[in-house]
A and B are shown apart, each in its own frame.
Chain A
Amino acid sequence: GAVVSQHPSRVICKSGTSVKIECRSLDFQATTMFWYRQFPKQSLMLMATSNEGSKATYEQGVEKDKFLINHASLTLSTLTVTSAHPEDSSFYICSARAGTGEGQPQHFGDGTRLSIL
């Protein structure tokens, strides 16, 4: 149980393109989903917390107009990288938390490798 599916797994596109990444919880409902970014040989950095039916909460230094997050249902959150540039190339990973009890673990997707040419 607790499977999170992320799509696409890899994107290669030209500079200036907007890219949408989907994150789905397949067998549970997730009121909260999270988006992370990971550069090569570095750890995961939380970008934003996505709550179903409300605006996302962005971490300091993350541009909300650059990284648009929509969490329209209890099983789907999307991250759109708008007007992507080479410096946005990274490994983007989503996670979802099943339940609201304290200490509930997060379950992660397999990530999306974004390469901007």
Chain B
Amino acid sequence: EVQLVDSGGGLVQPGRSLRLSCTASGFTLGDTSMNWVRQAPGRGLEWLGFIRSKTFGGTTEYAASVKGRFTISRDDSRGIAYLQMNSLKSEDTAVYYCARGGFDYWPNYFDYWGQGTLVTVSS
């Protein structure tokens, strides 16, 4: 059974950093692209970025809104994808989801999602 487990969320002060993890099971993480999506309280979904599989160079693409502040990486040997978030702002408060990409070269659809992890940015 394919499963994604998001972790690493919590309360963080503005300006600080946080790293989220997405642990995969039931499939080979290295064979797929992985995405991060967030949802602010009471708001809609926002795509943040993705990382291609090693087959396609393991390169990344980001939303313009987070480019330069957020970094996605992967450790295929451990089956974990990461979202490194720097210089956090109050508007980054949201539930963060990892999601498996159904198409590898460009972000397209997301066939499995983690349960989400809540990040609260506040002093």
Q: Does B associate with A? A: no
